[in-house]
Structure formats: C-alpha cells, structure tokens
Amino acid sequence: MYQHKDIQGEPISLPVGKVVCIGRNYLDHIDEMKSEVPTEPLLFMKPKAALCDLTQPLVVPKERGECHNELEVAILLNKPLINADIDSVNDAIWGVGLALDLTLRDVQASLKAKGQPWERAKAFDLSCPVSGFIPVSRFTQLQNLSFSLHINNELRQQGNTSMMLHSIAALIAHMSSVFSLEAGDIILTGTPKGVGPLLSSDRLTVSLHDHFDITTTVAE
C-alpha cells in the first residue's frame, strides 16, 4: 500500500490523493512525439491506485504493448487549492520529488487515432512510481531543477525545469481553476525528450541533481 514518504523513507502525514498531470510541457518532447503545442495546459489524471514506491521493482503490463518511461518532477501538496493565486500555490507545496509517468505507448497511439481519452494508457494500476519527497524549504528555485534518467547506465532522459512551457506554480494555479486540488495530491509537471520502451530487468537510475539518486529495476 502506497504512502507518501520523505527522501529518508519516513512517512509523511498526508492522505494519499489523486495525481494530476500535464502533457506536452517540454518543447523537445513535443518535437520527438511530432505533436502540436497545446494552446492551454493539456491535463489528465491518474488515480491513487496508480501510485507506488519508485524504489521497488516496476511492474510493467507487457501484454499491452510497449510501456515507456516518462520521468517528471513531482510536487506534493499539503493544502487544498481552488482558483489559487501563485502565493497560495507556493504556500501549499510540501515538497519535491521525481516520478515516472509510465505510459502504454501502443495503447495511447490507438486511443489518439480514435480521438479517445488517454486513461487506458496512463491511469492503470502502478503506473506512477514515485520517489520520496524533499521539503520545499530546501530548494531556492523550483524553476532551475535538473533531473535525469539512466537505463542500464546509458542516459535516456535529462531535463531542467527552466525548460517548461508552463512553470510549476503557474501550472498548479491553472489546475486549481479547473478542479479542486486537495492536500495529499501529487502534481506531475511534464517530461522532456527521451521516452522509450522499458524491458524486463532494465536497471533505472533516476536523479534529482544535487539532491538524490534512486536505482530501481523493471520486474521480470
């Protein structure tokens, strides 16, 4: 059973809520997917059943086609937000971590071709492995965080939050104008280029530079 934890593995006394995500928030990823730049943030959700511990082996539903990595900066909220301004958003951030938005790419391509929603490709159980969170007070600038993913010791993804089309605080404020955000919700902030298939026994190292490295594997 998933529970929010800090980066030392200590439980955080917040309820487990939904995961609210943005698609196409890095231009290099938009280009690699041959997608269009959206006119407003492209939002979708994952249920709490999607959440799992990034330090544990990743469970990939291989029978449903390719499952791709999408490494993202994750934000944990500790206060509810409705039609929030930037100051309220900043006050509601408990901490920062990393998460994988596991994506069934073949399923997603089929859904896109039919003009259908993405949930079957994005919101399946255990589709959101999450690291522990670092208190936001330890960061001086959320829009200058570097992060990366190595698979089998080869660099797969790297990015910096300065590359986002929508900054973290502005993105969360916009989300709160569309639907209520709650304490314990996690916000995923988009992925840079470098998405690709995950294979059995792959060894992944995710890094929030100057803060932590986590190594995990894909279950067989």
pLDDT tens per residue across all 220 residues of the chain: 999 999 999 999 999 999 999 999 999 998 999 899 999 999 999 999 999 999 999 999 999 999 999 999 999 999 999 999 999 999 999 999 999 999 999 999 999 999 999 999 999 999 999 999 999 999 999 999 999 999 999 999 999 999 999 999 999 999 999 999 999 999 999 999 999 999 999 999 999 999 999 999 999 9
Q: What is the CATH number assigned to the segment(s) 19-217?
A: 3.90.850.10
pLDDT, residue 102, reads: 98
Token pair listed for 66: 């390719």
Domain ranges of the chain: 19-217
End-to-end CA distance of the chain: 21
What are the φ/ψ torsions at residue 35 (nearest 5 degrees)? -105, 170
